[in-house]
Structure 1
Amino acid sequence: MVEVNFKTYYILTKIWGKITNKSPIRVGGTRGYGIGEPDLPILRTPDRRAVIPGSTLKGVFRNSLARYLKNVNPESDLAFAFGGNRVIGGSKGKNNLALGSAVIFSDFTTRQPIDVYERTHIKIDLSKGSGRPFQVEYVPENNEFEGTIIGRNLPLSDMSGMIYVVKNLMDLEVVRIGGFKSRGYGIVRFDVAKVEVYLPSNSVEFETRLGILSRGITRKISIKVENNSLKENEKSFTIISSSSNELFNKYEINVDSFYNVGKTMLEGG
């Protein structure tokens, strides 16, 4: 059976990520109207930690892949990783397939509460030839935002390829997060702290259309655990620890091997 849904979990991947802002960053909330409140405040948790919403990160990842990957339709092909609608079928008939997201992003939050930092910018009115000052709240550089990314039935090699692309684009300062990018905001570094894979057994086989490069084409996925290696088709990941419970076998994957598979996947290795 070809799975494009999540009635059965063949593989779950959980990535603990860290985003470090190398320049001021602002992901804004609703406009401030209170006395002494900045015109454009940042998003915060109730305990005043700064937030990058998971929905924002999902958009950053999807748009980055759409720009980087060749011959990919961002609306239809990437739906097999990020959710959406895709028309499938041939001469015998076509169906509109609604897809849930195979990738789930949590909110990324700072470790500690953030004080109020403001900068004044000028909004230019070209018709009048004048400007109006306004205050922008921001998170100062060198703060760390932490969160998780979960893959559901998405092949591990696709997860590693996705992370490898976006990490490198962020590290090169090509991809930025938040508003006011043209004013130097939003330069970040992305790092993976830990990768865990959950399997129902140490040997799993399934067919799926899910993936960042699959374009909806069915692929056979074979996953086997042998000694300290997790092998997915021809790709090999190094296991550094393992455990199990009544639901899943859990394997922690070496981060360097995770990156390396992502690199070779995109190079066609």
Structure 2
Amino acid sequence: MNFKLEDIIKLEGIITLKSGLHIGSGNMEMRIGGTDSPVIRHPHTLEPYIPGSSLKGKVRSLLEMASGLVPFSIDNGGIVSWKTVEKLKKDKHELVEEAKDILKIFGSSGADSGENTDIGPTRVAFSDCYLDEEWKKKAQTNRWQFTEVKSENSINRISGTAANPRFIERVPEGTQFSFSLTFKILEESDKKLFNKLLTGLKLLEFDSIGGSGSRGYGRVAFNFKDDEINKQFANLNPFRGEN
């Protein structure tokens, strides 16, 4: 199939943290007086940020869960791939088109085999989300810290005493990040795929991003620059198929 770039939709806005956020840096170096698990920071400014890869991965995961595709991934719980599509085709399963939509939006691995020429290039590209400039100026004026350290521990069920203390670095509730993504329109049906992507962002508001989501971390809210998108997003209910 031949694809032609017809349009690029740019979606911009603000992500506001509704609870503390922890996206780990992967830094395993131990420092005296340091935290057990630091957040990821920009290497030049040392300010916390939300990687675009974290957003993309979580939104994709939630859409795959919502579509019912997770049990059909070839590697038992991994991401949907072209092999997933081939398996669904072979079984004549009703989720074939859902799987194709996921691959069109988020892309497939170069290691994927198969004649997946009807998928085309990846439609969405997420940018890293840095601290919103207006919020940062306000934070600096009020001398707000960009991160906090939260102490956690486990409880011995018999003695009732705390054990295994650890210190987790988080970005505090109320922090705001600038959000941006682009979405390529390569064929008329891609406009419907953009609406599916919005559904994924709405699912993220119901869920969380980063670590310790089950303990209340990583709740977020989106506010977009486009008023029409904001209205559409506010009325979106991903559990009623309104996408």
TM-score normalised by L of structure 2: 0.67
State which of 117, 123, 128 in structure 2 corresponds to 1:107.
128
The aligned amino acid for 2:128 is: D
Could you say which structure has the higher helix fraction?
A: 2
How far residue 263 of structure 1 moved from its aligned partner, in angstroms, is 7.0
Deviation of the 1:101 alpha carbon:
2.1
Deviation at 1:37, TM superposition (A): 2.3
Q: Which has the higher contact order (CA 8 A, sep 6+)?
A: 2
Residue in structure 2 matched with residue 166 of structure 1 by the alignment? 200
Q: Report the Cα distance in structure 2 between the residues aligned to 1:120 and 1:64, rounded to whole angstroms.
A: 29
Indicate if the aligned counterparts of 2:52 and 2:127 stay in contact, CA closer than 8 A: yes
Code of the residue aligned with 1:144 in structure 2: it is: Q
- Cα distance per residue 1:192-222 (max 9 Å; x no partner): 223xxxxxxxxxxxxxxxxxxxxxxxxxxxx
- Paired positions, count: 195
Give CA deviations for 1:4-26 in whole Å, capped at 9, x if unaligned: xxxx4211111003211111111
- Hey, what's the Cα distance between the residues in 2 that align with 1:159 and 1:148? 14
Does structure 1 retain, via aligned residues, the 8 Å contact 2:59–2:203?
no
Deviation at 1:179, TM superposition (A): 0.3
Which of residues 34, 47, 50 in structure 2 aligns to 1:49? 47
SS at match of 1:146: strand
**152-161 or 12-21, which deviates more:** 152-161
Kept in 2, the 8 Å contact 1:12–1:150? The answer is: yes
Counterpart-to-counterpart distance in 2, 1:263 and 1:182: 22
Of residues 198, 208, 220, the one that matches 1:176 is 208
Structure 1 match to 2:103: 79
Establish whether residue 147 from structure 1 lines up as the match of residue 179 from structure 2: yes
Equivalent positions of 1:173-252 (< 5 A) are 173=206, 175-194=207-226
Rounded to whole Å, the distance in 2 between the matches of 1:41 and 1:262 is 35
SS in 2 for 1:35: coil
Question: Aligned partners of 2:113 and 2:236: how far apart in 1?
Answer: 28
Q: For 1:75 and 1:260, how far apart are their aligned partners in 2?
A: 31
Question: Distance between the aligned counterparts of 2:221 and 2:32, measured in 1?
Answer: 35
Structure-2 residue corresponding to 1:234: none
Superposed CA RMSD in Å reads 3.4
What's the TM-score once normalised by structure 1's chain length?
0.61
User: 1:25, 1:186 within 8 Å by CA — same for their partners in 2?
Assistant: yes
Query: How far 1:256 sits from its partner (Å)?
Result: 4.7
Distance 1:132 1:267, change over 3 A: closer
Q: Deviations over 1:48-71 (max 9, x none)?
A: 332110110111111111112356
In 1, the alpha carbon distance for the partners of 2:235 and 2:165 equals: 49
For the structure 1 residues 31 and 2, does the alpha-carbon distance in structure 2 shift closer, same or farther, using more than 3 Å as the test?
same
Distance (whole Å) between structure 2 residues aligned to residue 11 and residue 257 of structure 1: 22
Distance in 2 separating the partners of 1:181 and 1:261: 25
Q: Is the 8 A contact 2:147 2:172 kept in 1?
A: no
Once residues 122 and 261 of structure 1 are traced to their aligned partners in structure 2, the CA distance between those partners, rounded to angstroms, is 39
Shift in CA distance, 255/32, structure 1 to aligned 2, threshold 3 Å:
same
CA distance in 2, matches of 1:256, 1:26: 26
Name the % identity. Answer: 26
Q: Which has the higher strand share?
A: 1
SS at match of 1:84: coil
1:254 aligned residue (210, 228, 234): 228
Counterparts of 2:181 and 2:49, CA distance in 1: 15
Report the AA paired with residue 83 of structure 1: G
Per-residue deviation at 1:133?
1.7
Displacement, 1:170? 3.3
- Partner SS state of residue 48, structure 2: strand
Matched, 1:2 2:2: yes
Structure 2 unaligned regions, length at least 5? 73-79, 83-98
Q: Distance in 1 between matches of 2:155 and 2:116?
A: 46
